């Protein structure tokens, strides 16, 4: 688990957001509402899908704490935002970028090891900015050959 540390430029996104917690995790429903409508978004930079988590101030990683989850696409500019969608700006900042491979069955363990092992060992701190996954052409839902990039904001 050796991430790349990058300085991420600001990103403009358009998508659908839903408030949820890990105890009431509705990510499948979120993506089911977004995917049929993704072609309505204008000025799309690429086909990469963004699975974003925006945490409230003082977020404590408690499974009951609500956060905002987004299904989105990156855009060059905001022109027309489709009805029922919103815009989101991910501010520029420092990120640790991990590659996750697998069918998702051990994703929670992978994330737990980032926050409980890797961050302390790297002597870095998590910063409460949007954290997200980028799902590109290598992403294949529920496939052991699937690959995605995980972006964790760090100080």
As separate numbers, helices (DSSP H) first and strands (DSSP E) second, the chain gives: 3, 8
Mean pLDDT throughout 146-154? Answer: 96
CA atoms within 13 A on the CB side of 22: 12
144 compared with 126, residue with greater pLDDT: 126
Among 54-63, 93-102, 138-147, which is the least confidently predicted range? 138-147
| pLDDT tens per residue, range 103-124 | 988 898 999 999 999 999 999 9
pLDDT in tens, 51-81: 999 999 999 889 999 999 999 999 999 999 9
Which residues, 6+ apart, have CB-to-CB distance to 50 below 8 Å? 11, 13, 15, 70, 71, 72, 73, 74, 132, 133, 134, 135
The residues, ordered by sequence, that sit 6+ positions from 76 with a Cβ below 8 Å of its Cβ are 12, 43, 45
- The Cβ of residue 69 has, within 10 Å, a number of other Cβ atoms equal to 22
State whether CATH 3.20.80.10 applies to domain 4-153. Answer: yes
Under 8 Å between Cβ of 86 and 16:
yes
Q: Report the alpha-carbon distance of residue 88 to residue 40 in Å, rounded.
A: 16
pLDDT bin (cut points 50, 70, 90) of residue 140 is: confident
Average pLDDT score over the chain? 95
Q: What are the extents of the domains in the chain? A: 4-153
- Please say if the pLDDT value at position 147 is more than 90: yes
């Amino acid at each position: 688990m050796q991430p790349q540390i990058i300085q991420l430029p600001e990103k403009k996104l358009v998508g659908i957001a839903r408030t949820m917690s890990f105890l009431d995790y509705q990510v499948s429903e979120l993506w089911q509402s977004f995917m049929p409508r993704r072609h309505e978004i204008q000025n799309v930079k690429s086909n990469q899908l963004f699975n974003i988590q925006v945490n409230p101030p003082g977020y404590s990683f408690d499974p009951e704490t609500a956060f905002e989850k987004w299904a989105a696409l990156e855009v060059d500019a905001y022109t027309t935002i489709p009805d029922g969608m919103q815009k989101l700006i991910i501010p520029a900042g420092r990120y640790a970028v991990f590659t996750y491979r697998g069918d998702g069955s051990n994703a929670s363990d992978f994330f737990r090891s980032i926050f409980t092992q890797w961050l302390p060992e790297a002597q870095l701190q998590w910063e409460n900015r949007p954290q997200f996954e980028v799902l590109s052409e290598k992403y294949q839902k529920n496939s052991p050959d699937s690959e995605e990039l995980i972006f964790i904001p760090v100080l």
